[in-house]
Amino acid sequence: MQISRNHRTNQTFLQIKPGLFLSAILIVLLAMGGCVQPKHTAVDSAQRMLPMVNNPHLPEVIIALINQSDEQYFKHDLSAALATLERAVRIDPRLPEVWSRMAQVYLDQGKLEQARQHAKRSNSVLKNNMALKDFNDNIISGKPMESSN
Amino acid sequence: MTHSKPKSTPKTKPRQKYSKKEYSKKKSSKKTPPNKKRAKKKPPNKKKNNKAKKNSVSLSRILFNRYSLLGLFVLSIIFSGYLFYLNIKITDKMSGRIWSLPSHVYARPLELYQGKYLTVQQLQSELKQLEYTQVKNRPTKAGQFRVLNNAHFEIISRDFTFWDGQQKSQGIRLSIVNNKLSALHKLYSDESLALFRLDPVKIAGIYPATQQERQLIKLDEVPDDLVLALLAVEDRRFYQHWGIDPRSILRALLANVVAGGTVQGGSTLTQQLVKNLFLSPERTLTRKINEALMALLVEINYDKSVILETYINEVYLGQNGAQQIHGFELASQYYFASSLKKLRRDQMALLVGLVKGPSWYAPRRHKTRAVERRNQVLKLMLERGALSQAQFNKYRALDLGLANKPRFSSNRFPALIELVKRQLQSDYDEDDLKSSGLNVFTSIDPQIQAQAEASVLRVISQLEKSNNKVENLQTAFIVASSQQGEIQAMVSDRQPSFPGFNRSLDAVRQIGSLIKPAIYLTALQQPQNYTLASVLDDSPLHIKTTRDDTWSPQNYDKKFSGNILLHKALEKSRNVPTVRLGLEVGLADISDALQNLGVTRNIPAYPSMTLGAFNLSPFDVANMYQTFAANGFNVPLKVIREVLNKEGRPLKRYPLKSNKAIDEKAIYLINHSLHQVTQTGTAKSLAKNLPLTVAGKTGTTDDLRDSWFAGFTNEQLAVVWIGRDDNTSTGLTGSSGALRLWTDFFQRQEDNGGINSFSLEPPAGINKVWIDEKTGGLSEKNCLGAVELPFIQGSEPTEKAACKSAGIIEQIKRFFK
């Protein structure tokens, strides 16, 4: 009895609702695509966007924290990347490289106003680093650079 | 009870339920008129009486049989329902979150890296607060450290879950030379480390209304002797009974009758647990019945080991101020500053003895009673074979062995924790905060807090001692990081650990001259109209406020200096030129500037606002001055960095948010002047008392009611208010009161490791020009009365002032400057 009832159910499912089944698969695939697609974009843009650190006077501790935050950034853990950069700011708030990175992470999070604000903070402590100034100015003006390298 | 029911039931029950015969009998009886019914009660003769009796008996038997069964059935349904309800109540609590877990608040983690300002004492203090154990030989376990030659540390950190994941225990070694961390390596290795983050100090808990702290312990970690003593004293037949124990009840009853009062309780551990977890403490029959029913249900639902473990973690064992001590592990920490596992058997006996009456036997208050009770428990342990006679004799002669001080205090930093709570309340409701076991990571720095508290204690009493008229002073003191706006320390009472009125947050007082930088900033944001060299009028001023009223502001020294340059008026905190300037630039614009600086309160636009005749709290003032300290970037002050749930999973981060609302060039001009305040102005005592470049402003209100100082470096901002709760005169100006406390704190900061000076490096777009101090015209370095001032590019004066050569001594002085 049980087997035949199950059999009947399966038959009904396959016979009557294949369209619904296929639609559901399609919706799931689209949803997955929707979730995954922006992440790929974020990776690509991230790899293009992070400014070079070419300040030979950066303390070892700051370099270590920047590297750690970059690692988190490329793993799309933007919140952790920001938290790590804040640790660097606490140690020395006068380093434009750190503020610019924070601006970039905010940009990737879609928080444009905070991205601009942090780019301004970078500019406020910046000296003679035109590449970084361009980077910041582009964020402030709402036109992020295609590539900083 | 069972008989009354059937008698009344027929009136309410449907007739169909009767058999035909019964129904006819019932019907006939019903037809009987009332007087006949009464007559029935007094039978005319015996025969009739017997017949009637027979009828009545058979009727009641039938009714009893039928309706008593029905009644019993209904009762049993109701009773089952009630049991079901009780069972749900029990399983809900015992299978879910039995206890409200308080949220725990952590200080900032100490970051260790080469070049960090750090003294040996500070690191030792940090490790002590973390409860790391100092060892003489090489540390081998997590949570141990040793110090060599008072400079080299070897530390094995503990595992800790931060926002960015778990940090495993690691061995490190480091050296401190001249108050700086000079080298950081892995322990027993030459591999250097760029950075190491110590686990943060837990500084407080946010408790439920019942103020219950918890330190849970698993049953297999509980010493056998404690379990044995507990069962010997409280429930000998724990493993034999089903939640209630009639034998114990009888024994207790007998003992109580013999003693003529309550000397023994018959409650089992399960009953006690049920009482503590689910029931109110009153002694009523209903509660007793509920207790027994629930105890049975608990026994049906749970294993004995679960019941015992729950009891051990639940039982109430004392009071620490407002905080209740629940569970043996926490009680062990509270009374002996040790974990339960490490206790001696006499100490365990004391804890077990306390179950009977934690207040009556409170060991710190009633030592004799406590010793007596402990010895009773020891005797029971002896009887149960847990102790030998020799051990019993030894233990009963011992002192209670209490720790001098509780290892934890309910709340060491009440003002700060209040701030933490308020900032959390926007994201979490009160109940979650007090019961979900959140882990709250903050920017609180225990070292800085300790220095702030020490400065408050020392300076407030000094101020009162040095002036007989000054008494009952109160204070609020806030320290924050300048660039991130993170609160590091806060004191809201002259007794810093007193948890009363939070003056830092809630004492809204007139700010006096602390307003002035906002007015001058409003002016300097118009470089075409105002510069530091603008000439202001410091002559008598009369402002008509109403038809009959005139306001005539005065300078603090009651004198007028005629013409005065704008920068000088700010540095010397001259009132009259400030009022004139404020009215010129417009009160509305000043309100806007205050908003841009981070002041969120509504400020009334009256002329007297230009002299700070409006109320702000010290916290508001700190928000305002943070914007100066961070060169025009307003960062709303915050104390929370991250929140993790009780399992250590990230819940919410409170990121650094900046808002640049003020041009950095205008801010620089103000900061330049605020630095001059500390050199030649109202806070010039700082120039000789503090070897640091700082900027700041004094504030004094009418009748010397409030004494303020707000000052900063690039790293740190501190605001001090000193006043009296009844708002009467303190006899102190900003310089003679608040500034002294501020100076003491920064001196201490400087001595204990040091902080960097305030940077006076101008931003792009600022030119420095020599001008004549009297006229504000262009001058030259070697001219008499010349002073170098910064100007926003394009706003420099163009008219030249007459130059009289400065004397050779003056020129030499300037050369060295």
pLDDT digits 0-9 by tens, B502-541: 999 999 999 999 999 999 999 999 999 999 999 999 999 9
Residue-averaged pLDDT of chain B: 86
With 60 as the cut, is the pLDDT of residue B86 above it?
yes
B397-420 as b/e: b if 16+ CB within 10 A: eeeeebeeebebebbbbbbbbbbb
pLDDT reported for residue B326:
87
Residue B323 pLDDT: 74
The pLDDT score that the predictor gives to residue A36 is 37
Domain edges within chain A = 2-33, 45-141
Q: How far is A23 from chain B (nearest CA, A)?
A: 36
> What is the three-state SS of B603-641?
CCCCHHHHHCCCEECHHHHHHHHHHHHCCCEECCCECEE
What pLDDT score does B3 carry? 38
pLDDT of residue B502: 94
Residues 6+ apart with CB under 8 A from B382: B388, B389, B392
Range in A55-64, B132-141, B241-250 with the lowest mean pLDDT: B241-250
Residue of B483, B641, B657 with shortest CB distance to A93: B483
Q: Do B714 and A93 touch (CB under 8 A)?
A: yes
Q: Which pLDDT belongs to residue B427?
A: 83
- Rounded mean pLDDT of A73-96? 94
Lowest mean pLDDT among A104-108, B119-123, B279-283, B634-638: B279-283
**B163, B484, B632 member nearest A83 (Cβ):** B163
Alpha carbon distance A105, A51 (integer Å): 11
**pLDDT, tens digit (0-9, with 9 covering 90-100), for B137-177:** 999 989 999 999 999 999 999 999 999 889 999 999 999 99
pLDDT-based confidence at residue B262 (cuts at 50, 70, 90)? low
B113 touches chain A (CB under 8 A): yes
- pLDDT value at position B50? 58
- In three-state secondary structure terms, B456 is helix
pLDDT number for residue B211: 55
**Which pLDDT belongs to residue B11?**
39
Residues of A in contact with B112 (CB under 8 A): none
Could you tell me the pLDDT band of residue B95, with boundaries at 50, 70 and 90? low
Q: To which H or E segment does residue B205 belong?
A: strand B202-206
Give the least confident one: A12-21, B113-122, B127-136, B802-811. Answer: A12-21
pLDDT of residue B22: 41
Nearest to A114 among B486, B650, B657 (CB): B657
Most confident of B467-481, B618-632, B641-655, B798-812: B618-632
Q: Which residues of chain A lie closer than 8 angstroms to B655, CB-CB?
A: 82-83, 86, 114
Which is more confidently placed, A110 or B249? A110
- Please answer whether residues B701 and B432 qualify as being in contact, where contact means their C-beta atoms are separated by less than 8 angstroms: no
pLDDT category, A7, cuts 50, 70, 90? very low
Region A85-114: what's the mean pLDDT? 94
d(CA B429, CA B206): 13
Measure the CA–CA gap between B181 and B193, rounded to whole angstroms. Answer: 12
Instruction: List, for residues B115-147, the tens digit of each pLDDT value.
Output: 999 999 999 999 998 988 899 999 998 999 999
Calculate the CA B667 to chain-centre distance: 35
Residue A148 has pLDDT above 80, yes or no: no
Question: What pLDDT does residue B19 have?
Answer: 38
The span from the CA of B789 to the CA of B682, in Å, is 19
pLDDT of residue B214: 67
Residue B695 pLDDT more than 50? yes
Q: What pLDDT was estimated at residue B337?
A: 75
Which residues of B fall within a CB distance of 8 Å from A75? none
Q: Is the pLDDT of residue B391 over 60?
A: yes
Closest chain A residue to B480 measured between Cα atoms? A90
Q: Is the pLDDT score of B734 beyond 60? A: yes
Work out the pLDDT band at B802, boundaries 50, 70, 90. confident
Q: Please give the pLDDT value at position B546.
A: 78
Name every residue whose Cβ is closer than 8 Å to that of residue B645 and which is 6 or more positions away in sequence. B436, B437, B438, B439, B651
* Mean pLDDT calculated for residue range B674-701: 94
In the CATH scheme, what is the homologous superfamily, with its name and number, of domain A45-141? Tetratricopeptide repeat domain (1.25.40.10)
